[in-house]
Amino acid sequence: MVAQIEAEAKATAAYTDRKTFSAAVMAAIGKVPRHEFVPQSQAPMAYVNAALPIGFRQTISQPYIVALMTDLLDLEKSAVVLEIGTGSGYQTAVLAEIAKQVYSIDIVQELAGEETERLKRLGYKNVVIRSGDGYDGWPEHAPFDGILVTAVTPDVPPALIEQLKVGGRMAIPVGNRILGEDLMVIEKDQAGEIRERLVLPVAFVPFTRAAQTNA
Ligand code: SAH
């Protein structure tokens, strides 16, 4: 799987500006046992570079996308990271290998509960997960060095930009199924100015809002 990600990184370098991902990111990908994060029926596929179903109409992201999004954050070891869309918890674990502290929110209550248990069992002590609508971020733990969103939203939630540290970076899929979706990197530079860059076309599950979920 690591070799497949490296090949895809090279093939997409014209879009991403990154021919390779950092040693820390690739080491984390090599270390996190992805088969622990997929349903048993999908276990034979766990180390294929593909997205897989995890129940609740959600998916575990493609490993190349997990590696790319993590790499785009340029995290230091001291980083505090917010993830919106815990899902299987796989991306959460990859972040936890690299950063000092990871906070993750999923709107599906069952997923947030299951992942807390699983990550605890796998020995991750620097992860806190809660269920809720990630649109408002997690102000109590802000600001964040990195924010990673794993569900596609028509526009960037303003609270997430607010909760980004100066010098911090966010990776977020933006768009919709009809007009297309793009992975975007948003950076808050030292002057507090926001810079945005489209990275490449992607396909993510939709970012849902609390009101819709409860309907
Ligand atoms: N990184 C995950 C991807 C999961 S799919 C993985 O690799 O497993 C995206 C997740 O985003 C789903 O679990 C979905 O429940 C969650 N999600 C969608 N809208 C959300 C919202 N408003 N707030 C928090 N989580 C949300």
Asked if 61 is an active-site residue, the reply is yes
pLDDT of residue 214: 45
pLDDT of residue 55: 87
Would you give the DSSP letter of residue 206?
A: B
The upper half-sphere exposure of residue 206, i.e. CA atoms within 13 Å in the direction of its Cβ, equals: 10
pLDDT of residue 7: 96
Q: 143 preceded by cis ω (within 30°)?
A: yes
For atom 22 of ligand 1, the residue with the nearest CA is: 133
* Ligand 1 pocket, mutate which of 84, 94, 131, 212 (most atoms under 8 A from CB): 84
Helix (H, G, I), strand (E, B) or coil at 198: strand
Q: In degrees, to the nearest 5, what angle opens at C-alpha 90 toward C-alphas 77 and 124?
A: 55
pLDDT of residue 215: 41
For atom 19 of ligand 1, the residue with the nearest CA is: 207
Q: What is the mean pLDDT of each run of 10 residues along the chain (215 residues)?
A: 96 95 98 96 95 90 97 98 96 98 95 91 96 97 98 96 97 91 96 95 91 50
For atom 11 of ligand 1, the residue with the nearest CA is: 85
Which atom of ligand 1 lies closest to the CA of 134?
Answer: 23
Question: Helix 90-98 crosses helix 109-121 at what angle (to 10 degrees)?
Answer: 50
pLDDT of residue 179: 84
pLDDT of residue 211: 66
Nearest alpha carbon to residue 173 among 98, 62, 88 = 62
Nearest alpha carbon to residue 136 among 162, 154, 112 = 162
Task: Choose, from 22, 41, 61, 78, the residue flagged as catalytic.
Answer: 61
* Ligand 1 pocket, mutate which of 58, 59, 155 (most atoms under 8 A from CB): 58
